[in-house]
Amino acid sequence: MFNHLTINPGFAGKSDAINASLLNRFQWVGFPGAPVTTVFNADATVGLIGQEDGIGFSVMNDKIGYETNISVSLMYAWRTDVGNGKLGTGISIGLMNKNLKPGWSSDAGAGLIDQGDPLIPQSEVNALVPDVGLGVYYETKDYYLGLSVKHLNQAAYSYEESGKYSLVRDYYFSGGYNICLSDPLFEVQPSLLFKTDAASYQVDLDLNVRYDKRIWGGLGYRLNDAVIVLLGTEFRNGIKLGYSYDLTISPLARYSSGSHEFFVAYSFNLNRRREQKYKSVRFL
């Protein structure tokens, strides 16, 4: 992904701009029922009682197999000066709709639904639940750090008589550094993202090279999963385009040609400055 706002509400309003972005991720292309994710995000700075804070809005559609999750969230971040940087402390409140279409079948077309199993829904079902997240995001001109949790309330849901479930908390830690080289046109930007649900974890390591603050490219590694190629550019009119390709190195490589992620964004700078403070254009 190319946008911190998706996982950390503390990121909202971090730049003096109104930002909107659209992202599409096609994971494990060629694998039946592979995940497809679409995300729309928007955030801006707002002035309340002499304090500049941030607001955000996010819509995510996440489909994997016969399950589709749609979430809508509103975010607010309190922004304060701390040391040489800015600290954003954010909260997200929203709704998630979980949809299940029980149409499992084998490759030969034989139905796999057990009509006698009460835990398997026999028709399309939906469950609508509240969803809450928290996050802090700290940034200076040289580095950033983020810590957040999604599904904080662990909302419970059920599909008719098929049993009760709850959303699992996801914890995120992110960090990155901006290294200025002897040639001022070039910057090197290493970054890290650690994600866990307390049962398993995922680690992403990225290294981007940025030229003239407009063009970037780099490589990433997702532990035991993929090697990643990153490309992107920012135009002077505020439009950003990004692309990443995941070369799968896990056993799934036998069934998938990899994963593709596309990103487009627009920033309208409220102060008519084109100085962007993003230290990394990618986080997961």
pLDDT digits (tens, 9 = 90+) for 188-245: 999 999 999 999 999 999 999 999 989 999 999 999 999 999 999 999 889 999 999 9
Query: Which portions of the chain are predicted below pLDDT 50?
Result: 105-110, 273-284
Which residues, including other chains, have CB under 8 Å from residue 267's CB and lie 6 or more apart? 15, 17, 18, 19, 238, 240, 276
pLDDT in the model for residue 32: 86
Cβ atoms 223, 203 nearer than 8 A? yes
Cβ atoms 282, 220 nearer than 8 A? yes
pLDDT in the model for residue 277: 46
pLDDT in the model for residue 162: 66
pLDDT in the model for residue 120: 63
pLDDT in the model for residue 51: 81
Rounded to whole angstroms, the Cα distance separating 222 from 65 reads 23
> So what's the architecture of 4-103+124-269 in CATH?
Beta Barrel (2.40)
Q: Would you kindly state where each structural domain of the chain is located, as residue ranges?
A: 4-103+124-269
* DSSP-derived pairing of the beta strands 201-211 and 215-222: antiparallel
Rounded to whole angstroms, the Cα distance separating 81 from 142 reads 15
Cβ atoms 262, 242 nearer than 8 A? yes
Buried-state track 49-58, b at ≥16 Cβ within 10 A, e below 16 = eeeebbbbbb
pLDDT in the model for residue 110: 47
* DSSP-derived pairing of the beta strands 170-177 and 143-150: antiparallel
pLDDT in the model for residue 33: 87
pLDDT in the model for residue 142: 95
| Nearest to 59, CA basis, from 27, 26, 92 | 92
